[in-house]
Each structure stands twice: as structure tokens, then as C-alpha cells.
Amino acid sequence: MTRSRKPALSAASAHDVSMRVSRHCSRNSPALGCGVPGLRQHVAWAIILAWGGALLLGGCGSVTPPAEHAGRASASLQRQAGAPSDVVMHALSLVGTPYRYGGNTPQTGFDCSGLIRYVYLHSAGRALPRTVEELSRYGRQVAERELRAGDIVIFGQRGKPTHAGIYVGDGRFVHAPSKGGVVRLDQLSSRHWASRTFSYRRP
């Protein structure tokens, strides 16, 4: 099926999200992503594209979204009550933070459950469990069709939960994988993660 093209994302829309990121970073200055010069604009575009198009993520460099992707993002953002949640903005602002087993701050690095706990504690004031095993039982389970931004995605193999991330919308999630070495944004539909999806939890 061929999708009709939508108008490109307006400069005003991009500016609005960028300002939201700036305000978020001002309140959460310890976040590594907020302290890197030029990264706020990168995070703003990451948020926009995470809702509506294919993300072009290149380290800490600037990202110029294609018009088609940006158009889908604009409409999708409107459907999401006009703005991403603080949880999602905070998670995206930490993309690029180094991985470290047992880590739970931007300064020391993160493992997967440490990232989730940090984001929820500092953006929502909620102390989520510290291990993947505990996260797999926390909150309530939701079906894939009910997923919404901020939900926790649990991955596992042979019936055992082994990894977790934060769903940010449009089939994407932020997580801290040991392979790759940094907090990053990935697609649930990718071959690797689709074969390991365990459950979805709403804190």
C-alpha cells in the first residue's frame, strides 16, 4: 500500500520540541546528553522522529530529517497530545551514554535496569525495581497493541527475562545493551529483538 505524503514538519514544531528538551535539560543538568554541546537539537529531532519516521541516528552529530519522515512525525506528535512525556524525553537525552554493568548514573554509565530506574526516578519521581527479573513482574502486563510511550519492554530467552528497555513510540525503544557499548535507540521489529520479546509492562 502506498502512503500519501504529508506536509513536512514545520520549523515551529521542531522549535517547540527543541525548547521542551532545553527546559528538560535545564531541570536535569546531570544527564550526559544534556551536557554535550549541540546535542539538544539532536535529541529534539530524535524525539520527533521516534514518533513518526525512520530515525537517522549518528552519534552526537546533527540530524536532518527527510520531509516524508518529518511529516509523519508532525501528525504523530499531534496524536500524542502535542508533546512527548518527560520519561521519553529523559530516556532519549541519555542516548550515547556508555554502558557499564551495574551502572546507574550518566557519570558511571548504565546497564539496562539501571537506565530504567534512573529515568523514572528523575523524570517521574518513581523508584522502579533494579533488576530485570523484578521489572518483569512490576506494574501490569499489557498487550503489544496497547503499548504506549513510557512502557517497559522485557526481553528474554527460554522463558527467562534477560534485558529491558523503555518504549518511546512508533515501534522503538531506548535501552542500554552490553553489546554496542552505549545507550541507544532500536526497533522492536528488528530480527534480533523481535525474537527475544518477552513481555510489556506498564509501571
> Which residue of the set 34, 69, 112, 122 is catalytic?
112
Give the domain extent around 177: 11-202
Regarding predicted confidence, which is higher, 73 or 150? 150
Phi, psi of 179 (to 5 degrees): -85, 120
Q: Which residues make beta-bridge pairs with 98?
A: 182
Residue 117 lies in a domain: yes
How many domains does the chain fold into?
A: 1
User: With 80 as the cut, is the pLDDT of residue 71 above it?
Assistant: no
> Which residue of the set 42, 69, 122, 163 is catalytic?
163
112 is catalytic: yes
At residue 105, the 3 state secondary structure works out as strand
Residue 70 lies in a domain: yes
pLDDT for 36: 39
Query: Which grid cell is 73?
Result: 512525525
Q: What's the mean pLDDT in 79-93? A: 71
Residue 33 lies in a domain: yes
Residue 155 lies in a domain: yes
Phi, psi of 155 (to 5 degrees): -115, 155
24 is catalytic: no
Q: What's the mean pLDDT in 39-64? A: 39
- Residue 41 to residue 187: CA distance in whole angstroms: 22
Residue 132 lies in a domain: yes
Q: What is the pLDDT of residues 22-49, one digit of tens each?
A: 555 555 444 444 543 344 444 544 554 4
Sequential DSSP letters for 132-172: HHHHTTSSEE--GGG--TTPEEEEEETTEEEEEEEEEETTE
Regarding predicted confidence, which is higher, 22 or 179? 179
Is 186 in contact with 193 (CB distance < 8 Å)? Answer: yes
Residue 4 lies in a domain: no
Nearest one of 90, 73, 76, 71 to 150, comparing CA atoms: 90
User: With 80 as the cut, is the pLDDT of residue 133 above it?
Assistant: yes
Residue 5 lies in a domain: no
- In this structure, what CATH number is given to the domain that contains residue 129? 3.90.1720.10
Residue 158 lies in a domain: yes
Query: pTM for this one?
Result: 0.65
> Which residue of the set 24, 69, 122, 175 is catalytic?
175
